Structure 1
Amino acid sequence: MSFESFIALRYLRARSKQTFISVISVISILGVALGVASLIVVLGVMNGFTKDLRDKILGVNAHAITMSVSGPFADFEKTMQTVLQVPGVVGATPFIYSEVMISGSGGVKGLVLRGVDPDTAESVLSIREHMEDGGFVRLKEDGMPGIIIGKELAQRLGAGIGSRVNLLSPSGTRTSTGFTPRVRNLRVVGLFKTGMWEYDSSLGFVSLQSARELLGWEEELVTGLEMTVQDVYRADKVAEDVSAALGGYPFYSRNWMEMNANLFAALKLEKTAMGIILTLIVLVGSFSIVTTLVMLVMEKTRDIAILMSMGATRRQVRRIFMLQGTIIGAVGTCLGFALGLAAAYLLKQYQFIELPKGVYSLDKLPVLIEWIDLLIIGVSAMLLCFVATIYPARQAAGLQPVEALRYE
C-alpha cells in the first residue's frame, strides 16, 4: 500500500471528534449510490420498454410491406416470387387490410381486420408466439369461416373459442331500398394476447377469402405483401431493394422503422432526458464529496503541515485527498450498482408493477440491462466524483506549513 493510500484510508476512519465529517462522508456515498442505482433501474426500464414494444410491434406486423399506389392489386403470387428473390428477404405473405365493426353477445366494437394467408402467414408474423388458443391453421377449417381476435376484445364481446361473432363492412351494396352494409357470421378459432392493449382489443385475423367476401371483392385482390427480413435493423435497405426489384411505380415499400419512427424517436428522447435528469443526483452526491473534503482539509490543517514538514511533497498531499474522494465515489458507485442491479432483477423476475390497461401500450414493466449503459454509468459516476476532488486537494496542497503551525 502506498503512502498516499495509507493516509487517505486513515482519514476515512471515524474518530470521536470527527464523527460529523464521517456522517457527511456516508451521506456522500449514499448520494452517489442512489444516483447510480436510479440510473441503472430507469435506463433498464427504458431499454426493456423499447425492446418489448419493438418485439410486439414486429410480432403483429411484418418487418416491411409492399403496396401499390393504385390500391389493391391482383397477380400477387408473381409479385411475391420476385420479392422472395431479393437478398435479405426470408419470407413473404399477402395481406388485406380493412376497418370493420364486430359484434357479439357482449357488445359492438370497431375492428382492424387483417386478411392473411394461413399457409404463409406464420413464416412472416410471429404472433403465433402470443397465441393462447388456436392458430392460423384453424382459419382453413371447413364450415363457418373463422376469425382470430385478441383476448381483451374477446372478453369485451363475451366471446370465446367456438363463439359466433358478426362482422359488418362499411363497403356494402346498393339496393332498391337503399345502401345495405355487408354482414358476415364468423366463428372464433383463436385467441392471442400480446400485452399491447391496442392490438389485444382491436385487431382480428381472417383468411384472405373471408376478407374478400366481406369487402365484396370479386377478384383475387390483396392490399399488399408483408415481408420478414434477415436483419431487422437493415429493413430499410431491404425495402429499397424490393422496390427496385419490382421496378418502382406503382409499387412502393415501407419498413417498420419508418412506420413507427415517431414512437421510437420519442422513446429515445425520453431515455436521454431521464438519463440527464438522474445524472444530477450523482452530481449532488459529488458536491457532497467536495463538502466532505473541504471540511476535512480544515480539520487536518495541522496534520497536513506536519506531513509537509516531514518531507511530504505537495503532489503527495494532493494525491491523499484525491484518493480519499475517489474512494468515496468508488464505494458509492459499487453500492449503487449492487442496489440498482438487485432492484432491476427483482422487477424483471417478479413483475410486481402492473400498468393500467388502456393507458399504456404494455401491461407489465419490462427491464433490460445493457452492458454499455452500465459502463457509461460507472465511468460517468467515477469521473464526476474525481472532478469533485480537484478543488479540495489543491487547497490542501497549497497550505503553507509555517502558517499552519504558527498558532499551534
Structure 2
Amino acid sequence: MKFESFIALRYLFARRQQSFISVISIISVLGVALGVASLIVVLAVMNGFTEDLRDKILGVNAHVITMSAAGNISGYAELTKEIEGVSGVTGVTPFIYSELMASSSQGVKGVILRGVQPKSADKVLTIRKYMIDGGFPELERKGLPGIIIGNELAKRLGVGIGRRINLLSPSGKKTSQGFVPRVRNFRVVGIYKTGMWEYDSSLAFVTLNSARELLGWNDSKVTGIEVSVSDVNNADKVAKKITEKLGGYPFYSRSWMDMNANLFAALKLEKTAMGVILTLIVLVGSFSIITTLVMLVMEKTRDIAVLMSMGATKKQIRRIFMLQGTIIGVVGTALGFALGLGVGELLKKYQFVELPKGVYSMDKLPIIHDWTDLVIIGVSAMVLCFLATLYPAKQAAKLEPADALRYE
C-alpha cells in the first residue's frame, strides 16, 4: 500500500480520541449513498412510466401513418406495395378514421371509429395485448357486423360481448323528407383495456367494409395507411423514406414521435427536472465531505507538520486528503447503487406501491433501469465528491511545519 493511501485510510477511520471524525465520515458516506439511490430509483420510475405510456400509445396506433393532403387515399393497394418495399418497414395496413355517435338502450357517446383490415392490422397494431375478450379475427364473423370497443365505453353504454350498439354517421343522405343520417347495428365482439382513459372511452374498431358502408365510401377509398417499423426509435427516419418513395406531395408521413411530441417532451422535461433536484442531494453529501476534511485538517495539524518535517512533500499531503474524499465518494456511490438497484428490483418484483386507479395509466410503479442513466449518475457523483476534496487538500498542503509546531 502506498504511503498516501495508508495515511488516508488511517485518518478516515480514526479511533479513540478522534472517533468523532469517523462518525462524520460515515454520515458523509450515507449522504452520498442516499442521493445516488434516490436518483437511481426516481429515474428508473420515470423511464418505466415513459416506456409504459409509449407502449400503450403504440398499442392502438401505428409507428408511422401515411396520409394524403386530399383527405383520403384512393387505390391504396399500389401504395401499400410501395411502402412494403421501404427498408425498416415490417407491416402495412390501410385504415379509415371518422368521428360519429354510438348509442345503446342505456346511453349515448361520441366515438372515434377506426376501420381496419383484421389480418394485416393484427400485425401492425399490438392492441391484442390489451384485449380483455375477443380480438380482430372476431370482426369477420358472419352475421351482424362486429365492433371492438374499450372497457370504459362498454361501461358507458352498458354493453358486453354479444350485445348490440348503434352507430350513427354524420354523412347521411338527402331524401324527400330531408336529411337522414346513416344508422347501422353492430355486435360487440371484443373489449380492450389499455389503462388510458382517452382510448378506452372513445375508440372503436370495425372492418374496412363496415366503415365504408356506414360512411358511404366506395371500395377503394381509405383515410390512410398505417405502418409498423422494426425499430420504433427510428420511426421518424422511416417516415421520411416513405414520403420520398411516394414522391412527396400530396402524400406525407408522420411518426408516432411527431404525433405525440408535446407529451413526450413534457415527460423528458419532468425527468430532467427530477434529476436536477435529486442531484442536489448528492451535492449536499459532497459538502459534508468538505466539512469532514476541514475538521480533519484542523485535528491533524500537528501530524501534518510532523509528516512534512520528516520529508513529506506538499503534493503528498494534498494527495492524502484528496484520497480521503475520493474514498468517501467511492464507498457512498457503491452503497447508493446497491441500495437503488435493490429497491428497484423489490418494486419490480413485489409491486408493493399501488397507484390510484383512474388517475394514472398504470396500477403499479413501472421500473426500467437505463444503463446510460446509471453511468451518468455514477460519474456525476464521483466528480462532485472529487471536487469537494480540492479546497481542504489545498489548505492542508499550505501548512508550514514551523508555524504548526511552534506552540506544541
TM range (shorter): over 0.9
Measured at CA, do residues 26 and 120 of structure 1 come closer, stay the same or move farther in structure 2, by a change above 3 Å?
Answer: same
Could you tell me the TM-score, scaled by structure 2's length?
0.94
- SS in structure 1 at match of 2:109: strand
Aligned partners of 1:342 and 1:201: how far apart in 2?
Answer: 38
Measured at CA, do residues 82 and 303 of structure 1 come closer, stay the same or move farther in structure 2, by a change above 3 Å?
Answer: same
- SS in structure 2 at match of 1:189: strand
Q: How does 1:332-343 map to 2 (within 5 A)?
A: 332-343=332-343
Measured at CA, do residues 250 and 350 of structure 1 come closer, stay the same or move farther in structure 2, by a change above 3 Å?
Answer: same
The percentage of aligned residue pairs carrying the same residue is 73
**Counterpart of 2:241 in structure 1: which amino acid?**
D
2:166 matched to 1:166?
yes
- SS in structure 2 at match of 1:119: helix
- Which is further off, 194-203 or 117-126? 194-203
Aligned partners of 2:311 and 2:388: how far apart in 1?
Answer: 27
Aligned partners of 1:252 and 1:100: how far apart in 2?
Answer: 25
**What residue number does 2:222 align with?**
222
Q: CA RMSD in A?
A: 1.9
Q: How does 1:315-354 map to 2 (within 5 A)?
A: 315-354=315-354
| Number of aligned residues | 408
Q: How does 1:172-211 map to 2 (within 5 A)?
A: 172-211=172-211
**Counterpart of 1:257 in structure 2: which amino acid?**
M
**Counterpart of 2:269 in structure 1: which amino acid?**
L
Aligned partners of 2:56 and 2:197: how far apart in 1?
Answer: 11
**What residue number does 2:65 align with?**
65
**Counterpart of 2:10 in structure 1: which amino acid?**
R
2:82 matched to 1:82?
yes
**What residue number does 1:238 align with?**
238
**What residue number does 2:295 align with?**
295
**Counterpart of 1:70 in structure 2: which amino acid?**
A
Aligned partners of 2:111 and 2:24: how far apart in 1?
Answer: 61
Could you tell me the TM-score, scaled by structure 1's length?
0.94
Aligned partners of 2:240 and 2:318: how far apart in 1?
Answer: 60
Aligned partners of 2:106 and 2:402: how far apart in 1?
Answer: 91
**What residue number does 2:247 align with?**
247
- SS in structure 2 at match of 1:291: helix
Aligned partners of 2:391 and 2:212: how far apart in 1?
Answer: 76
Give the CA deviation at 1:176.
4.3
**What residue number does 1:20 align with?**
20
1:105 touches 1:159 (CA, 8 Å); kept in 2? no
Give the CA deviation at 1:343.
1.5
- SS in structure 1 at match of 2:268: helix
- SS in structure 1 at match of 2:165: strand
* 1:70-89 alpha-carbon deviations (Å, 9 max, x no partner): 12232221221222222332
Gaps of 5+ in 1: none
2:240 matched to 1:257?
no
1:197 touches 1:357 (CA, 8 Å); kept in 2? no
Give the CA deviation at 1:329.
1.1
- Which is further off, 27-36 or 196-205? 196-205
**What residue number does 1:389 align with?**
389
**Counterpart of 1:65 in structure 2: which amino acid?**
I
Give the CA deviation at 1:302.
1.3
- SS in structure 2 at match of 1:312: coil
* 1:80-106 alpha-carbon deviations (Å, 9 max, x no partner): 122222233222111001122223455
Give the CA deviation at 1:392.
0.5
Give the CA deviation at 1:359.
3.6
Give the CA deviation at 1:378.
0.6
Q: How does 1:260-275 map to 2 (within 5 A)?
A: 260-275=260-275
Aligned partners of 1:61 and 1:139: how far apart in 2?
Answer: 18
- Which is further off, 319-328 or 360-369? 360-369
Aligned partners of 2:19 and 2:176: how far apart in 1?
Answer: 95
Aligned partners of 2:90 and 2:219: how far apart in 1?
Answer: 28
**Counterpart of 1:208 in structure 2: which amino acid?**
L
2:209 touches 2:219 (CA, 8 Å); kept in 1? no
Give the CA deviation at 1:372.
1.5
**What residue number does 1:360 align with?**
360
Gaps of 5+ in 2: none
Aligned partners of 2:247 and 2:144: how far apart in 1?
Answer: 40
Aligned partners of 2:393 and 2:97: how far apart in 1?
Answer: 68
Aligned partners of 2:169 and 2:348: how far apart in 1?
Answer: 43
Aligned partners of 2:361 and 2:394: how far apart in 1?
Answer: 53
**Counterpart of 2:4 in structure 1: which amino acid?**
E
Aligned partners of 1:167 and 1:363: how far apart in 2?
Answer: 32
Aligned partners of 2:333 and 2:94: how far apart in 1?
Answer: 53
2:47 touches 2:368 (CA, 8 Å); kept in 1? yes
2:140 matched to 1:120?
no
- SS in structure 2 at match of 1:159: coil
- SS in structure 1 at match of 2:201: helix
* 1:252-310 alpha-carbon deviations (Å, 9 max, x no partner): 22111211222222222222222122111111110110011101111111111122222
